[in-house]
Structure 1
């Protein structure tokens, strides 16, 4: 038997000596099942589930010797000494066979009693059954003595809870209720309150206090039901002497209510309300009931903002609502004198916005950048404000933009001055080259003539060490012959410009910052003799920007190469060199010359290369002489330049016969062969 008890305990059936916690379900079988049960046998199983549940038993299989009233062999289901059923047989058609119908005990315990005699003529297997806990609805069950709760019963799984009507409190026995009106605080945003026992008559001698307190920012509204009755004494006027309901709102005079007319809706405008209900020892009052609601405090409309929008746009703004302010494109948010990136204001519990509205002020792009050798003017708008338009122009006629006469910029929403194509880089002003103050009349100017001021404004003069010339090709750079500056790279060379007289008292003085001689030029040692003038070209970078004006302007570089440097027509050579034997000129002179053929340029004493050409005038005996070296030979001929055909330096005075003017030819460095070197050198320095 001890072994049998242990097996049953493991199957969660607590019987006799086995002590274990009641399980929610389990299984029980006859001895030796599914083998035939023994004869002359008696066994009892005590089945139990936790308190608060009923126990339900279902036979999965039952095969017990059938007999009238199960006289021989049987299994009985017993609860509280009451037999719920006695069973035998082999299938459900037997009168005493339980079938698969569950057996529900009224409580959480039952017993199974199995009895057999010794008269079995056939083998029978016995039974197997399943039991489980079933929740008891104590609130409707008659199995609980009397009523489980004095007022409200709430069924729970395995048990029940008692509750009380409003105005009553649950006693310590957790079953019965006692009157307790008022007390506590109603903090929910919505709720229902009624007098004790409503709609039954109110108890006598009451002093009930009800408090409704919600968070600031909400206003309480009392909605009384129409079923309202508080005793009123009329023989002393409509006063509430003995029974009353008093409503107190902070900051207002308390109001008493009695009689049979409901106050209906009371908008308190407050977040704290106290109700006091009083009855004396006499009279009758049915009482009252109300449903209270809350509404959020309203803030004033924020208004409109110029050049901006307030969102969201509500008809009214309530507590915890918020607004954003956004400015139109081109305007900025300003709080006082401080710019802010965003603005948000919240409606507070006191009905005020926590921040006042900012302003939307027009943006500005700041002062336009200055344009070197140019200026700007406002076309529209002012104070550098959004959508203002400015127009840049170069200081004409000495500077110009490369591809246009003027450039227009607009103050954009990004707060920067931007060109029409969204380019915010201002193009530079380039020196206007190849123009002078002389208007073309189509006539010829004879050679050897003195130049007038502004007629050859690119002519520069150096006279400190050895006299030489140069051509201004930008507002920083000049072009000369290499032999003029050879050996003087580390000497502060001074160049004069804007003059036609060597002794001019008001020249434009330029200091050389850097002298760059062509790398393929054959330099001459000190007191050496020049044997080759190939690549006789050098660049001079001035230490400061040359102030261009009517008398000092750059000459253009050739824009392309020409098979014939001067295209078969006359060009002009200029300089302060010799004009009479043994004398140098104190004034700027010029003469017109033509290019000779390569056969005419052959010279026995010095090599003539493809980087040179020779030119002169056999008729007028115009030639360049010592002192003219480094100066320009420009094309077209002086007096024939136009905006469409600007003056270009085609040659640099390089070398010639010792007795200049008699042979009427000199040799010039062919500038068009060095355009790439010139551009690269200026760009890199």
Structure 2
């Protein structure tokens, strides 16, 4: 038994390759695909799963890992024979990525097993693995002679065939009943050989050529049949044998076979480009691509496929791939200028600058949210919970891609299938905003484009540094002079992250019966002189920060505040980084809904 065993931190990822001899009466597939559960989404913890991979007898399994993304580790523990130590991802410096070189099994049966421990101290941001397998014919004729002294498979000529082999003999020899050894077939020719005897044998040869069809170059596969006829003659002259001779004639017949692989499988959120060839015929090359800049290819590589002689599209690794396109998060196609205006009377957001913004209406109440996946909206629990009751999906209206509330007339709300509120949210007195977070699931997936794109979730490298400028957006309260009104335009403001101690001090002197409690699941932002803040109607919208690589990520959710934009007061936000595990858990557990 050969064992591949990689242990990463507390996560154990184990693949067994097990040879099994069984008797089956059903046809077995010659290729297939396996991947960790929920791939390309994040894989769950406490997982044990195995796949039985079988190909016809006489074949071995060619296994290629098309993607491996497992948390890297400097230590990979093992206590049995190891085929490889794989972890990390393709670009990680400390990982052990298997690359795209195939792993070849010794036989026609494999057991592929993944085992993950139930404890992972770090937040999981990895998607697991995907692998392709294909049946590869075993060339029995090239195998070395057995060490038991039984001799070669065939005493003279060994002919490899698909899934098996055959023995043949040189001229003048015949195959014995054991179908592997040869014996002399003809003795010395004596006496009279009279009459005419004719023996015809046919041979088939395959070769490739090209033809012109309608003025275009097209690749054809030719099948050439060569018929050879032997005519024997003989006789006696003066009682002496004059020998034996034969005439040889041959007729060549050619049959043109057009190999058509058909249309390649369509790619969701992507397309296919014909790089060379003609009408998806033999030796045509196509390349899959994703709809950039809104989607990127899984693994970062555009897959190219070639039409092979068996009518299948295959990659350079001789496997049939099904590429995937993943959404690009936090990278709007148009940037906002750093004008640092106020949302309380601040600037209108131009189209395509805040594409993750969602407008949420529940009855007569207005709130906001952030797109984080093609079926998921992140918002505040206070937006969807009234009087301690979670609102039904039918009562929640979600609008995307709008920068003006009047646009909802032309853009009907999306169907909501579920509302998930954090189980520890309890704000019956409207003074406890701890765990103010909720997820809204849409019935149908979103196709991302310039006006609608997702926001990234926090990663392990993202931090909340005091003074970092964040951006708040929403359709909430704005002002004009001394007047305040509910804006119909999407507005934004840039405000800095405030030190937690200053956040706490800003609440001192306020009546405890009227002031929510500050917890470690919150942070505040704003300026001590006031004038820049989120306000009523902005609840559930996002407070975003920008990484060094230019990617925007969801740092906070507009939660609560005292006296919008007043001097010495700040806006308070749910700290999204504390809830990444909860968000991923909800999305994983409800992926099939």
TM-score range, shorter chain: 0.5 to 0.7
Partner of 2:413 in structure 1?
509
Q: Provide, for residues 539-595 of structure 1, a one-character-per-residue CA deviation record: whole Å limited to 9, x for no partner.
A: 112111223222221111122254x52563211101001123662111111111111
Would the alpha carbon gap of residues 574 and 423 (structure 1) be closer, same or farther in structure 2, given more than 3 Å must change? farther
Q: 1:593-672 to 2 correspondence within 5 Å?
A: 593-602=495-504, 603=507, 604=512, 605-619=515-529, 621-636=531-546, 644-657=549-562, 659=564, 661=566, 663-672=568-577
Displacement of 1:499: 1.4
**Contact in 2 for aligned 1:462/1:495 (Cα 8 Å):** yes
Q: Which moved more, 1:591-600 or 1:380-389?
A: 380-389
Q: 1:128-147 to 2 correspondence within 5 Å?
A: none
Question: CA separation in 1, counterparts of 2:489 and 2:394?
Answer: 26
Q: Where do 5+ consecutive residues of structure 2 fail to align? A: 1-189, 209-221, 233-247
Question: CA separation in 1, counterparts of 2:478 and 2:312?
Answer: 59
- The CA RMSD measured in Å over matched residues stands at 3.3
Partner of 2:375 in structure 1?
476
The reply to whether residue 381 of structure 1 matches residue 277 of structure 2 is yes
Question: CA separation in 2, counterparts of 1:554 and 1:508?
Answer: 20
**Contact in 1 for aligned 2:564/2:571 (Cα 8 Å):** no
Q: Provide, for residues 351-386 of structure 1, a one-character-per-residue CA deviation record: whole Å limited to 9, x for no partner.
A: 999x99683624333321111111011111223223
Please state whether the residue corresponding to 1:513 is helix, strand or coil. strand
Question: CA separation in 2, counterparts of 1:423 and 1:683?
Answer: 29
Partner of 2:585 in structure 1?
680
Partner of 1:493 in structure 2?
396
Q: Provide, for residues 515-551 of structure 1, a one-character-per-residue CA deviation record: whole Å limited to 9, x for no partner.
A: 21222322x5xxx422321111111121112232222
Structure 1-normalised TM-score?
0.47
Question: CA separation in 1, counterparts of 2:267 and 2:521?
Answer: 39
- Aligned match for 1:557, one of 452, 457, 476: 457
Displacement of 1:475: 2.2
Q: Provide, for residues 377-411 of structure 1, a one-character-per-residue CA deviation record: whole Å limited to 9, x for no partner.
A: 11112232233211111111211124325222222
Question: CA separation in 1, counterparts of 2:297 and 2:192?
Answer: 83
Q: 1:40-59 to 2 correspondence within 5 Å?
A: none
- Aligned match for 2:472, one of 556, 560, 573: 573
Would the alpha carbon gap of residues 423 and 530 (structure 1) be closer, same or farther in structure 2, given more than 3 Å must change? farther
**Contact in 2 for aligned 1:623/1:664 (Cα 8 Å):** no
Please state whether the residue corresponding to 1:651 is helix, strand or coil. strand
Q: 1:180-259 to 2 correspondence within 5 Å?
A: none
Question: CA separation in 2, counterparts of 1:623 and 1:425?
Answer: 50
Question: CA separation in 2, counterparts of 1:675 and 1:318?
Answer: 84
**Contact in 2 for aligned 1:382/1:388 (Cα 8 Å):** yes
Q: 1:350-499 to 2 correspondence within 5 Å?
A: 359=255, 361-404=257-300, 406-413=302-309, 415-439=311-335, 443-447=338-342, 448-465=346-363, 466-486=365-385, 487-499=390-402
Question: CA separation in 1, counterparts of 2:566 and 2:457?
Answer: 27
**Contact in 2 for aligned 1:625/1:661 (Cα 8 Å):** no
Q: Provide, for residues 294-314 of structure 1, a one-character-per-residue CA deviation record: whole Å limited to 9, x for no partner.
A: 442254987976546768x78
Question: CA separation in 1, counterparts of 2:412 and 2:543?
Answer: 22
Partner of 2:43 in structure 1?
none
Partner of 1:77 in structure 2?
none
Partner of 2:198 in structure 1?
297
Question: CA separation in 2, counterparts of 1:436 and 1:291?
Answer: 95
Question: CA separation in 2, counterparts of 1:292 and 1:589?
Answer: 106
Please state whether the residue corresponding to 2:502 is helix, strand or coil. coil
Q: Provide, for residues 218-271 of structure 1, a one-character-per-residue CA deviation record: whole Å limited to 9, x for no partner.
A: xxxxx9xxxxxxxxxxxxxxxxxxxxxxxxxxxxxxxxxxxxxxxxxxxxxxxx
Would the alpha carbon gap of residues 427 and 521 (structure 1) be closer, same or farther in structure 2, given more than 3 Å must change? farther
Would the alpha carbon gap of residues 652 and 300 (structure 1) be closer, same or farther in structure 2, given more than 3 Å must change? closer
Question: CA separation in 2, counterparts of 1:428 and 1:623?
Answer: 41
Would the alpha carbon gap of residues 679 and 425 (structure 1) be closer, same or farther in structure 2, given more than 3 Å must change? farther
**Contact in 2 for aligned 1:300/1:352 (Cα 8 Å):** no
Question: CA separation in 1, counterparts of 2:466 and 2:311?
Answer: 53
Q: Provide, for residues 148-198 of structure 1, a one-character-per-residue CA deviation record: whole Å limited to 9, x for no partner.
A: xxxxxxxxxxxxxxxxxxxxxxxxxxxxxxxxxxxxxxxxxxxxxxxxxxx
Please state whether the residue corresponding to 1:509 is helix, strand or coil. coil
Would the alpha carbon gap of residues 406 and 664 (structure 1) be closer, same or farther in structure 2, given more than 3 Å must change? farther
Would the alpha carbon gap of residues 424 and 516 (structure 1) be closer, same or farther in structure 2, given more than 3 Å must change? farther
Question: CA separation in 2, counterparts of 1:502 and 1:479?
Answer: 20
Partner of 1:241 in structure 2?
none
Partner of 1:326 in structure 2?
none
Question: CA separation in 1, counterparts of 2:204 and 2:323?
Answer: 47
Partner of 1:533 in structure 2?
433
Larger radius of gyration: 1
Q: Provide, for residues 293-343 of structure 1, a one-character-per-residue CA deviation record: whole Å limited to 9, x for no partner.
A: 3442254987976546768x7864469xxxxxxxxxxxxxxxxxxxxxxxx
Q: Where do 5+ consecutive residues of structure 1 fail to align? A: 1-222, 224-289, 320-350
**Contact in 1 for aligned 2:223/2:257 (Cα 8 Å):** no
**Contact in 2 for aligned 1:566/1:594 (Cα 8 Å):** no
Question: CA separation in 2, counterparts of 1:318 and 1:303?
Answer: 21
**Contact in 2 for aligned 1:469/1:575 (Cα 8 Å):** yes
**Contact in 1 for aligned 2:206/2:223 (Cα 8 Å):** yes
**Contact in 2 for aligned 1:624/1:661 (Cα 8 Å):** no
Q: Which moved more, 1:474-483 or 1:372-381?
A: 474-483
Structure 2-normalised TM-score?
0.54
Question: CA separation in 1, counterparts of 2:577 and 2:230?
Answer: 80
Q: 1:302-341 to 2 correspondence within 5 Å?
A: 307=208, 316-317=229-230
